[in-house]
Chain A
Amino acid sequence: MTQKTKHTSDFRPLDVQAIREDFPIFANTPPLAFLDSAASTQTPRPVVEAMDAYYDTYRSNIHRGVYRISEEATDQYEKARQKVAQLINAPRTSQVVFTRNTTESINLVAYSWGSPNIQQGDEIVLTDLEHHSNLVPWQLLAQRTGATLRFLEITDEGLLDFTQLRDVLSPKTKLVAITHVSNVLGTITPIQSIIDAAHTAGAKVIVDAAQSVPHFHVDVQQLDCDFLAFSGHKMCGPTGVGVLYGKLELLEEMPPFLGGGSMIRSVERDISTYADVPAKFEAGTPSIAEAIGLGAAVDYLTQAGLASIHVHEQELLKYAHERLQEIEGITIYGPAPHQKAGVISFNIEGIHPHDVAGILDTHNVAIRAGHHCAQPLMKKLDVIATARASFYLYNTFEDIDRLYEGLQKAQNLMTRRSK
């Protein structure tokens, strides 16, 4: 089945108050200023309801069931796959493989594509921006095969140094593994140019889209990426379900990742033949409820409009930059708001980021502090850790005001006697 491109202009301003009513967590008092969606988002009622409907009315295993509720479960599970395929404009629904999360998707590629295709002397190109999930699997692959990792560096502004690309890419380059949006700096990478350049050099490209697919429209056919990975729990879906998109000819020639039930065509004592994609990569009972929940999350985000979500986040980001810059001794890492997604990483002179997050927590403002699973980037920025606020469709300008007020209180508390 081939799908046509949709997602024409879906822009209309977000009704944030109406959206917040879909998230029961925001009804609590005092209200939670949740500024950690880059780690994991909140869940709207329709997503939980879709999973409840599975558990309450047609709970059963998928595939092979010859009774009605099993057919219903299979149908809903596959409908979720279809929704995800439409969201990223995959040419075929079968190119969407359900995994546990982005990390598992990337590991799947590192084993099933990497092992047969990467040899000693080959090079894998990464960037300084990578999350550990798009770094460690390639380190392991390099150790197994004798391949070498090379890195595109970032500029002082936190942008990728594009001028290095020509030096880093060579006939030895077999793969470019790159994030679409940095989870620490928010930097939106020039993914299209990098994919084009990598293909010209004869390399395949895997995109870590964990921080992009939830926030703006990503079209795999337009990008022409070979693989793309993202997680359900960062896009209003439940934990425990993620996605790997791959080009069909690549997925078809790759050996399975995990062996077991569901991924086989026939099994004999010594040898098996495998099912077609995507079943080949979905061994064992998958996260059925979670996949159905992810389908509902896709519906939810599509209804709100990804273009509208992106615009809303940009407005929040600009406002956050303005307010936070008023704070004495603050360092904001990464590029200007228009070059990044809804993430703002910062440090305040003299206050450990853990203390920043700890004090904000006492004011019911949730942000993250630490290395954000990006230790090489921390080293590059010459910091041990940062505080990070990140935004999504349910955040308000008031959330940012509360962040600002909390930071002022932290500063008063921690620097009271040294002034």
Chain B
Amino acid sequence: MNIYQEELLDHYENPSNYGTLPNPDISHEEDNPLCGDKIRIDLIVEDDIIKEVRFSGHGCTISLAAASMLTEEIVGKSLEEVKKLSRDDILDMVGIPLGPVRVKCALLALKVLKAGAYGIKGWPGEEDE
């Protein structure tokens, strides 16, 4: 399967929830030192439910498309539910096989989200290692 398939390219070219929020409850930014990709995520949270989300930054197709998909997934969910999102959930959303370097691209947005919302450092899936 070609990693540059339609759905990913759609998200890359027309990302959902792209931008920033003026008064976010949570705002966090991180980069992937391997390739310099950088993603910021802003959240509005009411009664533990994510009401609004925006992401911004720069990166490759995989990192930006995964960020777009992730933001679609988390709106309306509780912080507790979002905390359970795993590396595999993201890779399922992306839906195509990725090599180890590109897996990090796909996981960058989740890493930013977890670090911002829960202070969880480290790449998703590597917390226990």
Residues of A within 8 A of B (CB): 352-355, 358-359, 362, 369-371, 378, 384-385, 413-414, 417-418
- Residues from chain B with Cβ under 8 Å of A378 in the complex: 36
B61 vs chain A, min Cβ distance (A): 5
A371 to B31, CA, bound (A): 14
- Residues from chain B with Cβ under 8 Å of A414 in the complex: 9, 61
Cross-interface CB contact of A362 among B3, B9, B36, B37, cutoff 8 Å? B3
Cross-interface CB contact of A354 among B2, B9, B13, B35, cutoff 8 Å? B35
- Residues from chain B with Cβ under 8 Å of A354 in the complex: 35, 37, 60-62, 102, 105
Residue from A359, A371, A384, A418 with most neighbouring chain B CB atoms (10 Å): A384
Residues of B within 8 A of A (CB): 2-4, 9, 13, 34-37, 58-62, 102, 105
B129 vs chain A, min Cβ distance (A): 23
A362 to B61, CA, bound (A): 15
A384 to B38, CA, bound (A): 10
Contact A370 B34 (CB under 8 A): yes
| Given known contacts A371-B36, A384-B35, A418-B13, A352 and B59 CB-to-CB distance under 8 angstroms | yes
- Residues from chain A with Cβ under 8 Å of B62 in the complex: 354, 358
- Residues from chain A with Cβ under 8 Å of B2 in the complex: 362
B107 vs chain A, min Cβ distance (A): 14
- Residues from chain A with Cβ under 8 Å of B35 in the complex: 353-354, 369-371, 384-385
A46 vs chain B, min Cβ distance (A): 31
| Given known contacts A413-B4, A413-B9, A358 and B36 CB-to-CB distance under 8 angstroms | no
- Residues from chain A with Cβ under 8 Å of B34 in the complex: 370
| Given known contacts A417-B13, A418-B13, A384 and B36 CB-to-CB distance under 8 angstroms | yes
Contact B58 A358 (CB under 8 A): no
Contact B4 A359 (CB under 8 A): yes
A6 vs chain B, min Cβ distance (A): 43
23 contacts between A and B (CB under 8 A): A352-B58, A352-B60, A352-B61, A353-B35, A353-B60, A354-B35, A354-B60, A354-B61, A358-B3, A358-B61, A358-B62, A359-B4, A362-B2, A362-B3, A371-B35, A371-B36, A378-B36, A384-B58, A385-B36, A413-B9, A414-B61, A417-B13, A418-B13
A418 to B2, CA, bound (A): 21
Q: Which 8 A-B pairs have the closest CB atoms?
A: A384-B36, A352-B60, A354-B60, A355-B60, A355-B61, A385-B36, A370-B35, A385-B35
A359 to B61, CA, bound (A): 11
A385 to B59, CA, bound (A): 10
A168 to B60, CA, bound (A): 39
- Residues from chain A with Cβ under 8 Å of B102 in the complex: 354, 358
- Residues from chain B with Cβ under 8 Å of A385 in the complex: 35-36
A359 to B4, CA, bound (A): 7
A369 to B102, CA, bound (A): 12
- Residues from chain B with Cβ under 8 Å of A418 in the complex: 13
- Residues from chain A with Cβ under 8 Å of B3 in the complex: 358, 362
Besides A369-B35, A384-B35, A417-B13, 17 other A-B contacts (C-beta < 8 A): A352-B37, A352-B59, A352-B60, A352-B61, A354-B35, A354-B62, A354-B102, A355-B60, A358-B3, A358-B4, A370-B34, A371-B36, A378-B36, A384-B58, A385-B35, A414-B9, A418-B13
A353 to B105, CA, bound (A): 13
B103 vs chain A, min Cβ distance (A): 12
A399 to B111, CA, bound (A): 38
- Residues from chain B with Cβ under 8 Å of A358 in the complex: 3-4, 60-62, 102
- Residues from chain B with Cβ under 8 Å of A371 in the complex: 35-36
A362 to B5, CA, bound (A): 12
- Residues from chain B with Cβ under 8 Å of A417 in the complex: 13
Nearest-CB residue, chain A, relative to B98: A358
A48 to B47, CA, bound (A): 65
Contact B4 A362 (CB under 8 A): yes
- Residues from chain B with Cβ under 8 Å of A352 in the complex: 37, 58-61
